[in-house]
């Protein structure tokens, strides 16, 4: 029984045509399907049919996030564990979304909808599985190889953190602690071997701070910054480095106002990795290690 990874995010984009163009041509995701109100996209090195769904909507934000499980039976096991934990659970039928099987849906204490799934069509990464090249032809934009993580906000950081730990076996890579020395302001949780598959921060209930795409190295981060300049993308912060996770980063906004990040570096986590703790007096260095301060927009703008 295991969650393998963050599998997808579905985000609302009121500025529809510009947002679709942006995610396909500036970020460089690949369209795999669409219907009247959704466009399905994948990063080039992902084999599953999609990892990002754009939803035509009146306001920006996160519709849901979803984790992929190893087997279909995991859905039954996790569903029962959630019910015993006191969480209300719904079943999403196969075919509800293009290329997907059944899913289990629930809401975490910070207000976001989360789904678990296993079955999804496999379309490959554009290269053969025997004697492949390093990357396929025809990549455009920033061309991230994968969706990496997201940061969500809400009132009950500790409640959502505990749920992910107790039910799904997530571990805390890093945490930001309040002045009382105990209360959690933010947590960075991992299930794979990255510093964070999902992070949770004290803030507006049920909101999204950002979704992040992986790039392989600092040169790719610099190229992404050039592409933002060429395409007049609004940059929020960076290029810079985090103290938390040690990753290098740029934060920026899509045409609908959802914050994106490109991220590389950081460290490898293991089940026995200790939790790193940051305190509020050093929050500037924790978030932006070079500047040692956080701009107001970064802490107040959510979607």
User: Which residues are known catalytic residues?
Assistant: 149, 196, 210, 242, 251, 261
Cα Rg, the chain, nearest whole Å: 18
Q: Identify the DSSP state of 15.
A: S
Token pair recorded at residue 179: 């002045």
Distances, alpha carbon 33 to alpha carbons 8, 36, 49, 68, in Å: 15, 11, 9, 20
Strands, sheet with 259-265, edge to edge from the N-terminal-most edge strand: 235-241, 247-253, 259-265, 207-214, 146-154, 198-202, 184-190, 171-177, 276-279
Query: Any residues with CB less than 8 A from the CB of 295 and at least 6 apart, and which?
Result: 236, 237
Is residue 71 within 8 Å of 4, Cβ to Cβ?
no
CA distance 123 to 125: 7
For the chain, what's the residue count? Answer: 303
H-only helix segments in 5-156: 16-21, 73-85
CA 55, chain centre distance (Å): 16
């Amino acid at each position: 029984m295991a969650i393998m990874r963050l599998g997808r995010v579905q985000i609302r984009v009121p500025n529809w045509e510009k947002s679709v163009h942006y995610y396909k041509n500036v970020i460089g995701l690949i369209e795999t399907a669409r219907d009247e109100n959704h466009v399905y996209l994948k990063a080039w090195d992902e084999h599953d049919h999609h990892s990002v769904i754009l939803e035509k909507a009146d306001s920006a934000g996160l519709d849901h996030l979803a984790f992929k499980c190893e087997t279909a039976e995991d859905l039954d096991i996790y569903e029962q564990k959630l019910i015993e934990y006191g969480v209300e659970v719904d079943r999403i039928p196969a075919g509800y979304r293009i290329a997907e099987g059944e899913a289990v849906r629930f809401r975490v204490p910070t207000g976001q909808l989360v789904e678990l799934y296993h079955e999804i069509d496999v379309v490959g990464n554009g290269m053969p599985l025997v004697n492949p090249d390093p990357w396929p032809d025809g990549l455009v934009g920033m061309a991230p190889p994968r969706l990496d993580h997201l940061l969500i906000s809400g009132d009950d950081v500790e409640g959502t953190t505990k749920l992910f730990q107790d039910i799904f076996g997530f571990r805390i890579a890093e945490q930001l602690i309040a002045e009382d020395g105990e209360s959690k302001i933010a947590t960075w949780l991992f299930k794979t071997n990255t510093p964070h598959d999902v992070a949770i921060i004290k803030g507006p209930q049920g909101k999204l701070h950002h979704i992040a795409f992986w790039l392989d190295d600092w040169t790719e981060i610099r190229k992404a910054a050039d592409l933002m300049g060429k395409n007049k993308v609004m940059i929020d912060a960076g290029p810079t480095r985090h103290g938390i996770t040690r990753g290098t980063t740029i934060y920026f906004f899509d045409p609908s106002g959802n914050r994106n990040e490109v991220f590389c570096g950081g460290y490898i986590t293991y089940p026995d990795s200790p939790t790193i703790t940051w305190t509020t007096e050093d929050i500037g260095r924790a978030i932006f290690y070079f500047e040692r301060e956080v701009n107001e927009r970064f802490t107040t703008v959510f979607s």
